[in-house]
Structures are given as C-alpha cells and as structure tokens.
Structure 1
C-alpha cells in the first residue's frame, strides 16, 4: 500500500526531493490513523515481510513482531489489539529524511479505543522506499502513563551531623584540705607564750 490520501492531489512517491519529508509525514499519518479508525483489519497493508513492530506500555516489556504474514506476524498482533472505533487526536508530528531516502516520523497524541478513556501515546515510524511509494519498515508504539502512575524517585534523606560529645568534668570524691598558712601558726605560738609568761609571773608573786 502506498502512503496516499484521498484528499492529496498526487500520491506520495519515493522521491523525498520532490515532496518535503514533513508533507510526506503528515499525509502518511492522516492515512494511517484513518485506516486505524475505519478499517483496522487492513492496517497490516502498510507493512511488508521485512517490517517489525512493537506495541506496549511505558515501562513494560513488549514483544517485537516480524513480517506481515508470518506466524508471529504484524497482522495477528493488530487483530489481537482489537481496534474498533479507535479515535486518535494527534498533537504533534515530526518528520526527518533518513538513510536511502527513508523518512523517520514521530507522532504524539491521545488514543481512545471502543469508547474508552483517552490515553496519551507516542509512535515512531520509519518509512522505507518501495517502487510505488513507501512502506512501514519499523513501528514502535507506547502508551504513556500519567504523572500520578509514574513512581517518583525516592528522596535521599540528608542526616544532620552528629552532635559533639559533651565531656563533664569529674569532681574528686575526697576534697583536699588546704594547708594552713605558716604565719597563722606563728601568731598562735606567740599568744601561747604570752599566756605562759603571765602564769609564771603570778606564781612568783604568790610565793
């Protein structure tokens, strides 16, 4: 299937110089999600036997499907996703010219399937050239989780510095006696001598 749209004046051919990669990207995105909404059972026609596709949820492992009609094929994966009345609101499309004339496309938007709540998604395509246009060589799709569902990184607790140990001055168990001053002994001795001389004098008078 060539990446064309019913509203386009000319098909999207393989010459990136003739049609800007941005225009190719916009036309492809419009046609791809139109098929997703109206004819999801034919969505595998955008791929071929060399294509690979993965479809999953942010942060979870997902299997890669190879080929358009193999046992683990892209067609079976698309049918297993059970698309019906799938509505897509595209918020951003980025396109770049790549190797050998290919085009890399990244899509951001919201998708609602079977009347369910809208989920944010990101999808990346690599369009490779073929004789009559492009085919999807690589397709990576991820539903994005809400901010509340994404686990916050644990905060690293900063421990305050440990307080310095307080060393208490120990008082001696037995208080040391202060030595008596020498001059106090001398004064005491002089007083005692005076008392003794007075007593001796009194005895002599009595005799």
Structure 2
C-alpha cells in the first residue's frame, strides 16, 4: 500500500538537476548561484588555466557572472549519476561549450549534491576544459611512478591474463608494491 510519498530515483534527480542547471546558466546566469549555499565550493579555470576555487554564495555568484554563460551554448554529451556519501548524489557531466566565436570547447564538470530538508544543494562543483595537450600530464604522472614503463605494461598484461583464482592475491600484491614504490620516490 502506498504511503503517499513518491520515490524518485537518484538518476532522475541527477538528470533533472543537470537539465535545469545548464538551462538557468544559459538563460539567467545571475540566478544560478541559488543552487548553492555558503558552505559550497566552486572551481573554475582562470584565463591562464589555473583552477581557482571559491566558497560562499557571493564568491560563487561573482565567479559565475565573471564568465559569459549567457552567450554560450552548452551541449551535454554525458551525465553520469551515482548515489553517494550520506545520501548525496555525485554527477559527472561531459560536453561542449560554444561561444559567440562558434568555437566548440570540450569540458567536464562534476557535482556533489548534498541533501537538505527540501531536496538538494550543490556542495561541490568543479568545472574544467579538456584540451588536447592534457595527455602529457597523465604521462608525466606515469613517468613519476616508474621509469620502467615496459615493466608496468608487462605487469598489466600478466594481470589481465592470470586466471580468476589468483586475481585477488595479485591485486593486493601489486597495490602494495605500487604504494611502496611511490613512498620510496617521495620520501
């Protein structure tokens, strides 16, 4: 028997949020800050690409208004939604922004929606553009972990081809060796 409450899926809430957030960001960006609270955090790249982070409603409002969202069209390619910590919702959005110059820029944005009495608010929002030259960052991290890339590729291949009975043991052994290797390099 129904109790009078309507259960809404996490996916439905997340997708509704994404639709509404980007619609408001495009049509009335001066109101987009209303998704946030003073405890919220928002990160955006500055003109040099450095990710700057602000908190408080005023800081978030100023950061939103410092961009020309009203003259950008957002094309959402994916919106992945998961239930998260303390009944919150994690959302990862990928898409393209097209400005007045008709240049399409790929972006990714992640949100953590925290529960409140009357729904959710954006607790964390991280936005960044995806550029073609960011591949070197991942490569640099990989090189930092080990200089012997061939050995890692061999380990990955061996891991994939091992039978199921040894996978758990292999994961633990390799994870332990991985963190020990990083610890030795850092300290």
TM range (shorter): 0.5 to 0.7
Paired residue for 2:88?
A: 102
Aligned-residue offset at 1:32: 0.4
Aligned-residue offset at 1:150: 5.1
Instruction: Find the aligned partners of 1:125 and 1:68 in 2 and give their Cα distance.
Output: 16
Aligned-residue offset at 1:131: 1.3
RMSD of aligned residue pairs (Cα, Å): 2.5
Match of 2:132, SS state, is: coil
| Between 110-119 and 41-50, the greater mean CA deviation after superposition | 110-119
Instruction: Find the aligned partners of 1:117 and 1:39 in 2 and give their Cα distance.
Output: 22
CA shift in 2, pair 1:46/1:106, >3 Å: same
Paired residue for 2:44?
A: 55
Aligned-residue offset at 1:61: 2.5
Q: What is the aligned counterpart of 1:67 among 42, 56, 75? A: 56
C-alpha contact (below 8 Å) 1:85/1:115 kept by paired residues: no
- Greater CA radius of gyration, 1 or 2? 1
C-alpha contact (below 8 Å) 1:48/1:137 kept by paired residues: yes
Q: What is the aligned counterpart of 1:40 among 4, 29, 53? A: 29
C-alpha contact (below 8 Å) 1:83/1:114 kept by paired residues: no
Aligned-residue offset at 1:114: 3.1
5+ residue gaps, structure 2: 141-146, 148-187
**Alignment size in residue pairs:** 135
How big is each residue's C-alpha offset from its partner over 1:92-116, in whole Å with a ceiling of 9 and x where there is no partner?
1111111111000000110113343
Say whether 1:84 aligns with 2:70: yes
C-alpha contact (below 8 Å) 1:84/1:114 kept by paired residues: no
Calculate the TM-score normalised by the size of structure 2: 0.65
Paired residue for 1:124?
A: 110
Instruction: Find the aligned partners of 1:66 and 1:91 in 2 and give their Cα distance.
Output: 28
Aligned-residue offset at 1:64: 0.7
Paired residue for 1:27?
A: 16
Calculate the TM-score normalised by the size of structure 1: 0.59
Divergent runs of 4+, >4 A: 149-154
Instruction: Find the aligned partners of 1:99 and 1:151 in 2 and give their Cα distance.
Output: 32
Instruction: Find the aligned partners of 2:98 and 2:108 in 1 and give their Cα distance.
Output: 14
CA shift in 2, pair 1:21/1:151, >3 Å: same
5+ residue gaps, structure 1: 1-14, 157-207
